[in-house]
A and B are shown apart, each in its own frame.
Chain A
Amino acid sequence: DSGVTQTPKHLITATGQRVTLRCSPRSGDLSVYWYQQSLDQGLQFLIQYYNGEERAKGNILERFSAQQFPDLHSELNLSSLELGDSALYFCASKPGQGGGELFFGEGSRLTVL
């Protein structure tokens, strides 16, 4: 158990809909990362937050947004969903901004029908 909690574990929705994925980082970790994993694209970095502020953006679509709240949990919002958004979405955390390993949650599997 990494200490990173993601909900929901599975989500099935329709095209055009909007969903919110939630992540609780390990206790004390200030940095939260979001990744998307699909069969064709592999593991793609989406966005990083540190202590409530956005720190880096990767291949995140404009239809996607995220935030990190004062209690350090984070939410990833996916809107106007398309079939191609079906993927595993991972959250990871680590204590600070420096080097060091990430601790991953078990992911939220999104299926868009």
Chain B
Amino acid sequence: AQSVTQLDSHVSVSEGTPVLLRCNYSSSYSPSLFWYVQHPNKGLQLLLKYTSAATLVKGINGFEAEFKKSETSFHLTKPSAHMSDAAEYFCVVTHSGGGADGLTFGKGTHLIIQP
């Protein structure tokens, strides 16, 4: 069994300040973890993924995430927020067994960027 918890439903930051979106997971297997971004009325786009290689993962648009097994966390960060980062962000956990049952989505975090 596995689950993912996105600890904040909404996060608001000022443009130019750091972004932190929190994600905790549980998994009975060695997990793979992903962050997706969804802009309004768009599909989900992969930001980055962790698949048991380096624990610090760099993604697109300056985002990165660190896999911390001891804390069962995979928080998403960005040093400096841009207005275009305003979107919904989803944390996803899966395992090598795959299949639909192997994919678990968080409920999403809505990122608001204040000018």
Contacts and interface: CB of A to CB of B under 8 A. Distances in A.
Contacts, number: 62
Contact of A99 (B42, B44, B90, B96): B96
Given A42-B107, A106-B43, A100 B32 contact: yes
Interface string A42-79: 11010110000001111000000000000000000000
A109 B105 CA distance: 20
Nearest to A47: B100
Given A56-B101, A99-B102, A90 B96 contact: no
Interface residues of B, number: 25
Given A88-B41, A98-B98, A101-B46, 15 more contacts: A4-B43, A42-B105, A43-B105, A43-B108, A57-B100, A90-B43, A92-B44, A97-B98, A100-B94, A101-B34, A102-B103, A104-B44, A106-B43, A107-B42, A107-B43
Q: A-B pairs with the 5 shortest C-beta distances? A: A56-B100, A104-B43, A48-B100, A98-B98, A104-B44
Interface of B: 32, 34, 36, 41-46, 49, 51, 90, 94-103, 105, 107-108
12 contacts: A2-B45, A4-B43, A42-B105, A43-B90, A43-B108, A55-B99, A99-B32, A99-B95, A101-B49, A102-B44, A104-B45, A106-B42
